[in-house]
Amino acid sequence: MPKINKYVDIDSVEREAKKDYIDRHSPFIHCEATAKDGEPFLVTVKMGNEYTHPDDFDHYIESVTLFNGETKLAGATYVPGTLGNIKAHNTTTFSIIPTGKKLTLVAHGYCTKHGVWESTPVEVTVEA
């Protein structure tokens, strides 16, 4: 299994270069705090918060995967050049149908040079 890198509080990282490296590779989940049971729910995963990521032939975000706990919900795969061969935020929006009482969403992003990066979990309440 590949090493999974996790976002750390960039305020605790002293060097700007390290802050840049961590931010540009970390997935950030954006969604509403509540969802309706059985109705479509949009979840957007943005790679990098402040810093953009390269989209070069040998260095790009190849995939973004969304999980509810350990259950894979959705995934998207990209080829080099999808973002126009410029530095950008790879942004992927998934439409899922929530069930149960809550979701614990976690995203993984895979960089072809720097491996798998995991988001901070996001809790979503599912209402009937």
Q: Select the more confidently predicted residue: 73 or 11.
A: 73
Domain with residue 45: its CATH number is 2.60.40.730
Residues 111-127 have pLDDT tens digits of 999 999 999 999 999 99
Please tell me the total count of domains within the chain: 1
Identify the domain containing residue 32 by its residue range: 4-127
Buried b or exposed e, range 90-116, using 16+ CB within 10 angstroms: bebebebebeeeebebbbbbbbeeeeb
pTM comes to 0.89
